[in-house]
A and B are shown apart, each in its own frame.
Chain A
Amino acid sequence: MCVGDYLDQLENQSIYIIREAKAQFKKPAMLWSMGKDSTTLLWLCRKAFYGKVPFPVIHIDTGRKFPEMYEFRDKWVRKWGLNLIIARNEEALKSGMGPEKGKLACCTALKTQALQIAMKKHGFDALLLAIRRDEHGIRAKERYFSLRDANFRWDYRDQPLEMWDQYEKASEEATHTRVHPMLHWREIDIWRYIKREGIPVNPMYFARNGKRYRSLGCMPCTNPIDSNADTIDKIIEELERTKTAERAGRAQDKEQAFMMQKLRALGYM
């Protein structure tokens, strides 16, 4: 590739995939958790479509997100004119589902099932997600277009042949295709791009009183890390040195061996 700048390469590849998703699917939507990755994906979608995102943006609301995340969401929905869909598993929330009942059960009910309910209601055939290969070993196995069966399951043992940007769409028996336009980005690339582009980020990523959030999830299951990085430059500097994993503060990855693999096989992001 001749594009000199590395970030330009990443951006162009993502925009190509986002536009392929729009061209190939009848009813796509994207997932937005208000975290740095999905906000960057949203930014790339705005660029791909010249400012106006042509599909709905889904927020999976577990009711246990940080107040700052809801504030951030509502502000940018207004400013960017987004079509926001809030996905909640009301039944599970009413019955008092929470991490006390087991993290696998909680994530599955409040995230995976909430998403399933919304997908069914709206009939989306593709879902754009901001997952990256470097986040977790199991996510490294993903394709740009990844098929999900009727039960949302991902068959990682039998993935399609994906060469030369020729992606495979889900067939009839599958419910939908997951599209991963940012699979090739790294955590540090995200921050360098956020800096270059001036993408808004949730203030919780910046250090306050010696702590900051490196990855954002639900309140009960997300822990801040020790850090004094209170600017984007300092976060980039910290990432250049760190030897700790990005999702170290995310409890659902850790409860049991291969937790993430089990979650993802059940339809988790």
Chain B
Amino acid sequence: MESVNVVFVGHVDHGKSTTIGRLLYDGESVTDDRVEEIQKYAEELKRRFEFAYFLDALEEERKEQMTIESTRVFFKGKNRLYTIIDSPGHKEFLKNMLTGASQADAAIVIVSAQEGIEEQTRRHVFLLKLLGIEHLVVAVNKMDAVRYQKEPFERIHNAMKEFLDSLGFDLDKISFVPISAIEGENVYRRSTKMPWAKKTLIEALDAIPIKSRELDKPLRFVVQDVYEVDGEKIVVGRVESGVLRKGAKGVFEPSGRPAIVQQIRVYEGERSEAKPGECVGVISSVIPRRGEVFGLAESPPKKVTEIKGEVVLLLDRLRKNETIVVKCGTAAVPARVQNILEKIDTETGAIVEKQPSVVDINEAALMVLSLREPMVVERYPDIPELGRFVIMKNGKNIGAGVALEVSS
């Protein structure tokens, strides 16, 4: 069975949790005692039975009727298993949205047919672009409130298309569906009230092709640790791209030491090769340190001291010349904010200020980071797994970025 991670984003109160609750309920993915618990709870509080309660586990979330933390639930499609990540709509919870969305293969953008595109709709979509999520389903919700008319749907459809296009999304990878989550129209079952709808939400989800990591990308094996097992040193790590093969001749960067992969070891024994996502051990002719990356001699990992990248800050602000730590793969290196080139509005993606001295929380910027010592960072479009990084300040992860240009 295929497994797909999907994230739900959109403006607060446009119905993300309700849509997921509906998918779970109609798809019979919710346990009986959960339904009972929620019914009981709703009765106690004299509230309407809310599908959103399937997700909102925390006491205060129910009281305030919003989802604070990214929650995950599992859900079955036609031939797939979905892990659905519900993201919060409030601005201050962007870090939770990113924590969830960073693990997603595709996104569902919920837009209310009544309210249309709002601040958070745009902000979330901008961040999806930054995270490299290409496949979107735009669900125009609350169609019941506009009497299931095609016209309001078409209006949002067109406005959204224009916005997505301006951010550089490939529109062929995006589909649009009208739904009413509260009434269950066109979510799991086809709606008789909207015969003009081309597909249901679940059909649109099932139609998203799964991104498979390309095997023909250059090999990158990231070192996590070195273990001594029965007197032998095993270099453990994960293949991030390409294929690791026994006998491979290459180099560990940033130390630049050439090495030969003598054996590939897992607990069960020897392997002849390892593919992206696999955690294996290597018996190598040289012993690297944690944070190093192995690649083939003809396409070695990029050892860099400068990154030009797009960064979004979620928990703290950053000033020019400030010292931070850049974490990429298993490496963490101190760095200086050498230059802030442009401040980007996370709502529109537009450049709002050139050469600002400071970037605030929930703002994005194009900046140059100068690393105190060399580390391996790839250009995000080349090898995404090593082209994205997290920024740490005072021991806290405060933001994330993607490398657009790297140099040494």
Contact = CB atoms under 8 A, between A and B. Distances in A.
Contact of B99 (A138, A157, A163): A163
Nearest to B236: A19
Contacts of A141: 57-58, 69-71
B330 interface: yes
B59 A161 contact: no
A169 B395 contact: yes
B205 to A, nearest CB: 18
A119 interface: no
A254 to B, nearest CB: 9
B41 A2 contact: no
A48 B56 CA distance: 35
A55 to B, nearest CB: 13
Given A16-B279, A46-B267, A245 B397 contact: no
Given A23-B225, A133-B72, A169-B395, A143 B99 contact: yes
B31 interface: yes
B400 A161 contact: yes
Contact of A9 (B3, B98, B236, B266): B3
B194 interface: no
Interface string B44-59: 0000000000011111
A161 B69 contact: no
Contacts of B267: 46-48, 50-51
Contact of A138 (B34, B58, B265): B58
Q: Which secondary structure dominates where chain A touches chain B?
A: loop
B98 A163 contact: yes
B322 interface: no
Main secondary structure on chain B at its contact with chain A?
Answer: mixed
Contacts of A161: 95, 98-99, 314-315, 390, 396-400
Interface residues of B, number: 65
A189 to B, nearest CB: 9
Interface in B141-170: none
B214 to A, nearest CB: 9
A258 B327 contact: no
B83 interface: yes
A15 interface: yes
Interface in A77-110: none
A19 to B, nearest CB: 5
A126 to B, nearest CB: 15
A163 B227 contact: no
Interface in B21-55: 28, 30-34, 41, 55
A90 B320 CA distance: 56
Contact of B396 (A22, A136, A160, A242): A160
Interface stretch (B270-278, B336-344, B370-378): B270-278
B114 interface: no
Given A51-B229, A168-B396, A169-B395, 14 more contacts: A1-B213, A2-B277, A9-B277, A20-B330, A51-B267, A133-B73, A137-B58, A138-B58, A141-B69, A141-B70, A157-B60, A162-B99, A164-B385, A243-B31
28 contacts: A2-B276, A2-B277, A3-B275, A3-B276, A6-B2, A16-B279, A19-B236, A23-B330, A47-B267, A49-B229, A50-B229, A137-B71, A138-B57, A140-B57, A140-B71, A159-B99, A160-B396, A161-B390, A161-B398, A161-B399, A163-B98, A164-B102, A164-B389, A166-B390, A166-B397, A169-B395, A244-B32, A257-B59
Interface of B: 1-3, 28, 30-34, 41, 55-60, 68-74, 81, 83, 95-96, 98-99, 102, 212-213, 215, 224-225, 227, 229, 234, 236, 238, 265-267, 275-279, 281, 290, 314-315, 327, 330, 385, 388-390, 392, 395-400
